[in-house]
Amino acid sequence: MKTNNPTRQAAVTTADKVFEQIQHAIVEGDIPSGSKISEPELAKYYQISRSTLREALNRLEKCHLIERKANVGSRVVKCSIEGLLELYITREALEGMACRQAAINMSNEEISEMQAMLKMHGQTQELKDGIAYYQEEGDLDFHYKVILGSHNKQLIELICGQLYHLIRMYRCQFGMNSPRASRAFDEHSRIIQAIADRDGELAEMLMRRHIAASRKNIENKISKEMTQQEQTKIQLIKS
């Protein structure tokens, strides 16, 4: 599995390496969401000093995987439905704009590459008649390519450098194998078409709908999973 994103340079220092290890552990849930982080304990586990560990923790904080309070300590970020929905809202804004910029700034070569990639994904999908592979790898690849295609360093840094780790964390922890795979593939096709047509406005709109559809899919799932009782319970709490 591809764990590193193309925007970050390779980890050279030990703090970098430990950062990646802990990051992986948090994303995969090996270090539970919401749990407290003990600096001495983790430092001992990874055979490094506390200074080095704290350096790694700072990077984890940078991509919103842990939260620190002064003189109290660090906690792994707590996954919640509200947090997930907020993340989708943010993605819709940022990736929508990235898609618009991609339609303006991508080179013809980049567009050709993306079309080739999509074609390959389509074949793989046909082959496996399938959901899992495309959903995991292909979807991320597609979104990555679009974001990088914006040629906007600010957007790239925010989405690829910070938000995407959180997204992966939610995917792992909430086990998101949504049945939207084939529909998502069609949506991707239309988005690339809009980019190839240099239609930024349409490209943004399609990307926003694509992400909003995933969000609504989750919202529906949640409300279905709730029994009537639970819903009334929440109603009571809210009032």
Return residues touching DNA (CB under 7 A).
12-15, 36-41, 48-52, 54-55, 68, 70-74
Kindly state whether residue 93 participates in binding its own copies, applying the rule CB under 8 A: yes
| Among candidate residues 58, 69, 94, the one with its CA nearest the CA of residue 167 | 94
Among 152, 164, 194, 195, binds its own copies (CB under 8 A): 152
The crossing angle, in degrees rounded to 10, of helices 14-28 and 164-173 is 40
Kindly state whether residue 172 participates in binding its own copies, applying the rule CB under 8 A: no
Binding mask 27-56 toward its own copies (x if CB under 8 A, else -) reads: ------------------------x--xx-
Smallest distance, its own copies to C-beta of residue 55, A: 8
Nearer to DNA, 24 or 75 (CB): 75
CB 156 within 8 A of CB 106: no
Among 131, 158, 176, 205, binds its own copies (CB under 8 A): 158
Kindly state whether residue 4 participates in binding its own copies, applying the rule CB under 8 A: no
Cα–Cα dist 15/148, whole Å: 26
Nearer to its own copies, 135 or 150 (CB): 150
Partner touching 23 among its own copies, DNA, none, CB below 5 to 8 Å by kind:
none
Q: How many residues bind its own copies (CB under 8 A)?
A: 30
Positive or negative, the CA dihedral 99, 144, 171, 163 is: negative
